Amino acid sequence: MKEGYWFRSTLFRIESGEDGEVNSGIDGRHLAQWLKSQLESHGWPVIDVIPEDFGWCIRCQLKPFLLWIGCGKVTDVEPADSLQSGDNVVWHCFPVAEAPLVARLFKKFDVNSALIRLDELLLKILTAESAIQLVHEP
């Protein structure tokens, strides 16, 4: 499975004060909220969106294993004034499944199929939006 998706889009703005919640320069709250609504509109349950040091975490499942999507800004290109609207920004999002060690040892849960389904839906959402252009990893 890929390590997520990189893309450019002017759909997502960088919100002022956001980097007080995540590591400086790693924005993406607007992207995370958009992905949350897209997942829910496709029938995928979302618990919440929380800040993490790597960016934003869209938590989809907590038990019996964690299932979530991480997202945020990867790079930006000058001019800096274009960043507020999201121009010249490469965004990244990636699905993750984390099973407790005991569950992994005894293969108690089918983590991989849940991760594959979430990854397929994520790709479907991104490619369906004409304002998103997938790019290679920077």
Reported as a single tens digit per residue, the pLDDT across 73-108 is 886 544 444 444 555 789 999 999 988 776 656 666
Neighbouring-strand partners of residue 61 = 67
The string of pLDDT tens digits covering residues 12-51 is 988 776 666 676 667 899 999 999 999 999 999 999 999 9
Element of type H or E holding 50: strand 48-52
Q: Which strands make up the sheet holding 132-135, listed edge to edge?
A: 48-52, 55-61, 66-76, 89-98, 5-9, 132-135
Neighbouring-strand partners of residue 92 = 6, 72
